[in-house]
Amino acid sequence: MPMSQPPEPAMTVSEMTFEQAMKELEEVVTKLERGDVALEDSIRLYERGAELKKRCEDKLKAAEEKVATITLDAEGNPTGTVPAETP
């Protein structure tokens, strides 16, 4: 009979910071790579991993957009930022 640990109460993915989502995603990948997880648990882990991956991608994209909107003066010095929503 396989030993199964009860699932820990998980924070919703939408509440996670990039770092929290990345850390949990790494844990999910490690568990799946070991291959010692029951099929149903593997499916749940895979689905959670997909959500975590999307969260990381979304947070990274938002950060990249913010960095891309930093304004520079004539000498190349940062002068402020422009919201990413404005062209």
The CATH T-level fold of domain 15-81 is Helix Hairpins (1.10.287)
For the chain, what are the domain ranges?
15-81
d(CA 56, CA 14) in angstroms, rounded, equals 10
d(CA 53, CA 55) in angstroms, rounded, equals 5
- Backbone φ, ψ for residue 80 (5° rounding): 155, -170
Q: Which residue from 55, 43, 61 is spatially nearest to 13, judged by alpha carbons?
A: 55
30-52: per-residue pLDDT in tens? 999 999 999 999 999 999 999 99
Instruction: Give the start-end residues of each E strand in the chain.
Output: 70-72, 78-81
9-29: per-residue pLDDT in tens? 468 999 999 999 999 999 999
